[in-house]
Amino acid sequence: MKYLFILFFLFGAGCAQNNGPSIPSGASMILDADTLSGTSSPTGTCNFTTFSDSSGNGNNGTINCASGGGFAGTKTSSDPNRIVFNGISTFISTSLNAQSGVMPNSTWVAWIKPSAATFSHIFSLDNHGGAFNRALVIDNTTSDYGVFNRFNNTWITTPVDLGSWQFVAVTFSSTDLTFHKNGTTSLFGNAPAYVDTAQTFTIGRSAGGSFDYFNGAIAWMAVYPRVLNPSEINSACRALLPRFAGATCN
C-alpha cells in the first residue's frame, strides 16, 4: 500500500505540473523578442533585421528600423526583451497571408506596451485605400482599442493603458468578432464582411503603406489560423505573465 501511495503521489505531481498555463498550439506565426539578443538600438539604426518565426512555419518578420526603434531589453521583468516602435518609421513586415479568404478564422494575440494614444495600427491587413480590412488599432479620439471592419469601424470601449504592459487578443470568424484585454473578453460583435487585398500581415503601421505608425513596444505576438476560445486566451496571457513586472491577467 505504501508503494502504491508513492506511485500515486509521483504520478499526480507529474500531472499537476502539466496543468499550468501554456501557449496554445497551432500558431501560424510566433514572433518572440526573447529569441533575440544584441545591443539596444531604439534611437539608432537596426542591429539586425530578421525576426525569426518561432512557430516553425517560416513566417519570419523583417524589422524596419533604419531611422530609429528596434530591439531593446535585458530579459528581466523590469526590462523585458522587446521591439520598440518609434511612432514614426518603425514597423515589421511579414509574408504571412492572413486575409479572410485564406484564413477565414484567425486569432491575433500579443503582449504590448503602448506609449501614445495617436491613431495607429498595431496589427494590420488594411490597404489604406478604402477597402478596410482586418486591423487592430488605437483610436486617438477616445484612447480606446478599435477593430476595423470593411466600410466603417467597430470601436471597442476598452481603454489603452499607456506605459503599461498588457495582453491583447482579437478573434475573427465567419460569424463573430471578439476582443480580449488581459485575458478577459470585453466585446462580442457580428463578423464584418471583408474584401481580400494584396496586403500581408504587418506590425506597427498600416499594411497599406507609411501611415498610422504605432508608438510603443511589442514583446511577443502570435497569429493563429483558428479562433482561440476564452480559456486558451487566458492561458496564453498567464503563460508569459512572469516576464512583465506589474502586468496582470484577469
pLDDT tens digit sequence for 197-239? 889 999 999 998 899 999 999 999 999 999 999 999 999 999 9
User: Does 90 fall in a domain?
Assistant: yes
Query: Of residues 33 and 175, which shows the higher confidence score?
Result: 33
User: Does 18 fall in a domain?
Assistant: no
Are 134 and 100 in contact by the 8 Å Cβ rule? The answer is yes
User: Does 199 fall in a domain?
Assistant: yes
User: Does 182 fall in a domain?
Assistant: yes
Query: Of residues 38 and 135, which shows the higher confidence score?
Result: 135
3-state DSSP call for residue 22?
A: coil
3-state DSSP call for residue 184?
A: strand
Distances (CA, A) of 204 to 112, 113, 164, 166, 173: 11, 12, 17, 16, 23
Domain that holds residue 135: 23-243
> Residue 5: pLDDT above 50?
no
User: Does 212 fall in a domain?
Assistant: yes
User: Does 250 fall in a domain?
Assistant: no
Distances (CA, A) of 245 to 7, 166, 236: 38, 11, 17
User: Does 32 fall in a domain?
Assistant: yes
CATH classification of the domain holding 130:
2.60.120.200
> Residue 15: pLDDT above 50?
no
> Mean pLDDT across the chain, nearest whole number?
86
User: How many structural domains comprise the chain?
Assistant: 1
How would you write 85-122 as a 3-class SS string?
EECCCCEEEECCCCCCCCCCCEEEEEEEEECCCCCEEE
Provide the whole-model pTM. 0.88
User: Does 221 fall in a domain?
Assistant: yes
